[in-house]
A and B are shown apart, each in its own frame.
Chain A
């Protein structure tokens, strides 16, 4: 038994050490963002600020607020649209089997793995020719389309667990395609929607490549603004750190409040879920 206790102690020690290492960057970001820029220097890097300096957050917020709103519009629209279409597709692919579905599905899935550089130039031309370049609607469209594979996948796996008998019974009662969806499938898929929405929300909010290439100044999402803030010149680190916290806040909140669903989305991304 003492040996067992020794092991337990070792486990606790290791995991606590790991947790501390993981939290070190978080700690540094927090204290740096709360320091007077004049007080950020070598010898006190690790110390708590002597005076709590909230000014950086106000400044960062002034700079980032319009982009924060852009990101919010973009993320909410793209998430809801791709969740809706994903659920439709998942419903069709799992419950209305038709010839060729087994070919179409993997072809759709491949879309979530491609490096987006490989479609960037034509995508850019397409948006230009359709007049969607530079604004949020174009970016929303892009995120919806490239979000379809993963949302379809998650919903398809989710609906595979709803027994076909339920649907057959409804069909016998005369329910139509949409009837079945709105009376059976949709009510049963609330937690599926939560998983998908959280997943898409994090993905779209955090995305950078499309954001930097396809938007102009006043429709930039927040990630582009943060990269600019931090990549600028003569960096005083309090401001980028405050900006990083503001940028991270929405996804962080979602993660902390709904972590269980977040992990499910994470696992679903590896196909078999």
Chain B
């Protein structure tokens, strides 16, 4: 009957694995790899302030949270919410978790910390609905940035395009010179490109109208976006789906590609990981046709209902909402701080220019990074893109987008 003993032993081992929960704080995010050090610096600071808490850094890799959101869902549905999780500020949080009544209202925390005066009103609006404020923003990123390497552009003898027409005009020359005019990566980076194209074609007002429901996706204006997008995609590399966004950026730096459109986390990657000098090693411009518009997204952290370590989680939110915490995090992450007391001297040349734009530009919300539309729409946008790429029909894509917008009740 040896088997019995072994079986019991195994069962005990299994139970032991279960029984290890005391004072800890589990932070759920998708900041791994190159984006990891910024989070780690913030967590280290947290540990200095609260040495008794065991911080668990639960990251799920995959750019823009593509994998993390699926895992988070199983956690939340499983009745086992992480103590605090990363979520894009805006509809990704409100349209998914707040409407489902899974988040705690943080309005009191904002009042207690005096944050209502310390954050830009537009951002606060994005974080709130009629019932409260739902997460604490830790950074501001810009989505509509075009990256290039000055030396390469000079060598190619082209001007950095100011509109998509200009870009399409130089595209054949760039191809003839043997470089990829515009490099893209896996699926979500193509969606990311789409939003810059759409913003450039539509302008800030009509972009906002798409999301509040007053401009239909199957209107001529909106359909035109897909036509331009198709022409732009014809100027991109054919091995896109195998590349992460970093690998796409690498192609610009190596000179294989002329331009890349990516959020400004790419600046963090190029300065920190590739050790390039902003301005000379790499340079940037607003993506074609979007000069004067800041397509923003913000990573924020919320407090789910029923977490195991509520006190520790609130301390975490206090730290990352403070100017101190944000000035630890953002220079490393390559983003600017939403907190108005942030000390700009700690930031590099790119970030200082981004901060200036943030203060002077028209602000628009990103679709792909959760600010503009409910997650139900956002998560199906990949399907719309796929319909376009496989059928090549702008009309089909526009119709599909319209169908999904109606199904999820976009703008209501």
Q: Which A residues contact B (CB, under 8 angstroms)?
A: 70, 73-74, 76-77, 80-81, 84, 124, 127-128, 133-137, 140, 182, 186, 212-214, 216-219, 228, 231-235
**Is A234 in contact with B246, judged by CB distance below 8 angstroms?**
yes
B17 contacts A124, C-beta separation under 8 Å: no
- Residues of chain B lying within 8 A (CB to CB) of residue A133: 78-80
Expressed in whole angstroms, the minimum distance between the Cβ of B210 and any Cβ of chain A is 30
B122 at the interface (CB under 8 A from A): no
A128 touches B77 (CB 8 A): yes
**Closest B residue by C-beta to A232:** B61
Measured between beta carbons, the chain B residues less than 8 angstroms from A124 are: 74, 77-78
A-B contact pairs, 9 of them (CB 8 A): A136-B14, A136-B17, A137-B18, A218-B58, A219-B17, A233-B63, A233-B245, A233-B246, A234-B34
Chain A residue at minimum C-beta to C-beta distance from B74: A213
Q: Is B32 part of the contact surface with A, judged by Cβ < 8 Å?
A: yes
Question: At the interface, yes or no: B123 with Cβ under 8 Å from chain A?
Answer: no
Chain A residues with CB under 8 A of B75: 134, 216
Q: How far is the CA of A231 from the CA of B62 in the complex (A)?
A: 7
Residue of B nearest to A178 (CB): B1
B10 with A76: CB separation less than 8 A:
yes
| Given A80-B7, A233-B33: A134 touches B17 (CB 8 Å cut-off) | no
Report the interface size for chain B: residues with CB under 8 A from the other chain: 36
Count, A-B residue pairs, CB within 8 A: 88
Q: Is the CB of B26 within 8 A of A217?
A: yes
Cβ-defined contact, B18 with A135, below 8 A = yes
The secondary structure that dominates the B interface is helix
Bound Cα distance A216, B56 (Å): 12
On chain A, the residues within 8 Å of B356 by CB distance are none
Minimum CB–CB distance for B75 against chain A, Å: 6
In the complex, B13 has a CB within 8 A of chain A? yes
Chain A residues with Cβ under 8 A from B71's Cβ?
212
Q: How far is the CA of A80 from the CA of B2 in the complex (A)?
A: 11
Do the beta carbons of A231 and B61 come within 8 Å of each other? yes
Contact flag A234-B18 (CB < 8 Å), given A128-B77, A228-B60, A228-B61: no
Chain A residues in 8 Å Cβ range of B63: 233
Give the docked Cα–Cα distance between A44 and B26 (Å): 43
B228-246 interface code vs A (CB 8 A; 1 in, 0 out)? 0000000000000000111
B18 & A84 in contact (Cβ 8 Å cutoff): no
* Known A-B contacts A217-B26, A233-B32, A233-B33; A137 and B15 likewise in contact (beta carbons under 8 Å): yes
What residues of chain A lie closer than 8 Å to B15, measured between beta carbons?
137
- Given contacts A81-B7, A128-B78, A216-B75, is CB(A70)–CB(B17) below 8 Å? yes
Q: Please name the residue on chain B nearest to A134 by beta carbon.
A: B80
